[in-house]
C-alpha cells in the first residue's frame, strides 16, 4: 500500500503474517496517526504479500527490490513485531536480511513497536531488535512502545479498548515525525540552500 504524497516518506513494516494478528492491529493505529499529516507519504509493507528469500539464496525477488527501494527512499522507518520465544519475529529478521549489505536502512531513523500476550510485554523483543538495527547503522529512536496483554487490548474488529494504550501506540508515529522535523528536515533544507537548489 503506497500513499503518493509529497514530503516526508515513511515505511511501516508489520512483523507478523498470521491472519488477524495483533501486531497489525497495533500498527494500524500508527498508520492512522501518520495519515493525519498530509506532508507524509506512507508505504506499508505486509510481508505476507511479498516474496522474501532466505539469506544466501540469491539477489532477491522483484518484490524484494521494491522493498529495498522503498526503504532506501524513506525518511524514516517503523518496525512492528510480536514477541516470539523471547525475541522479535523471524519475519522482521527476514525483512532486515533482504535490505542488503550494507543495509539501505543505515542512517535512517527507526521507531520500534512491540506486542506480546504476556504481562511484561515485548521488552526482550524490542531490546534484541534495537541491537540489530543499531548494528546495521540505523538510528533507533528512544522510547520504543511495548504493548503487554495485547490479546485484551483490541477487539475482533481491531479497535483499541484502552485509551492510554492507544495514545502510547500512536506516539510511535508522533515521536518519529517530531524527530524528522527536528533533525532531518533542517539538514535537507540546509543542503538545498548550500547547493542553491530550490526546495
Please give the chain's pLDDT, 199 residues, in tens.
444 445 899 999 999 999 989 999 999 999 999 999 999 999 999 999 988 888 878 666 788 899 999 999 999 999 999 999 999 999 999 999 999 999 999 999 999 999 999 999 999 999 999 999 999 999 999 999 999 999 999 998 999 999 999 999 999 999 999 999 999 877 655 555 566 655 5
| SS (HEC) of 107-132 | CCEEEEEEECCCCCCCHHHHHHHHHH
* 3-class DSSP state of 68: helix
CATH class of the region 8-195 = alpha beta
Map out the domains of the chain as residue ranges.
Answer: 8-195
The values of phi and psi at residue 195, to 5°, are -85, -10
**What is each CA distance from 27 to 1, 11, 45, 197, in whole angstroms?**
14, 12, 11, 36
Strand ranges (DSSP E) for the chain? 8-14, 40-45, 76-82, 109-115, 139-140, 145-147
pTM: 0.90
Amino acid at each position: 500500500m503506497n500513499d503518493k504524497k509529497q514530503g516526508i516518506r515513511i515505511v511501516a513494516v508489520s512483523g507478523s503474517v498470521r491472519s488477524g494478528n495483533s501486531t497489525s492491529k497495533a500498527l494500524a493505529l500508527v498508520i492512522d496517526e501518520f495519515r493525519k499529516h498530509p506532508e507524509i507519504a506512507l508505504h506499508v509493507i505486509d510481508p505476507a504479500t511479498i516474496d522474501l528469500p532466505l539469506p544466501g539464496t540469491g539477489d532477491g525477488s522483484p518484490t524484494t527490490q521494491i522493498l529495498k527501494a522503498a526503504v532506501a527512499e524513506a525518511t524514516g522507518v517503523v518496525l512492528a513485531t510480536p514477541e516470539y520465544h523471547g525475541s522479535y519475529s523471524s519475519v522482521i529478521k527476514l525483512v532486515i536480511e533482504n535490505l542488503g549489505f550494507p543495509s539501505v536502512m543505515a542512517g535512517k531513523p527507526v521507531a520500534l513497536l512491540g506486542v506480546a500476550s504476556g504481562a511484561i510485554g515485548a521488552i526482550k523483543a524490542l531490546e534484541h531488535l534495537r541491537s540489530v538495527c543499531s548494528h546495521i547503522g540505523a538510528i533507533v529512536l528512544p522510547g520504543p512502545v511495548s504493548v503487554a496483554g495485547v490479546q485484551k487490548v483490541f477487539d475482533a474488529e481491531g479497535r483499541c479498548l484502552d485509551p492510554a494504550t492507544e495514545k502510547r501506540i500512536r506516539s510511535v508515529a508522533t515521536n518519529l515525525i517530531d524527530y524528522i522535523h527536528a533533525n532531518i528536515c533542517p539538514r535537507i533544507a540546509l543542503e538545498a540552500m548550500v547547493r542553491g537548489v530550490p526546495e
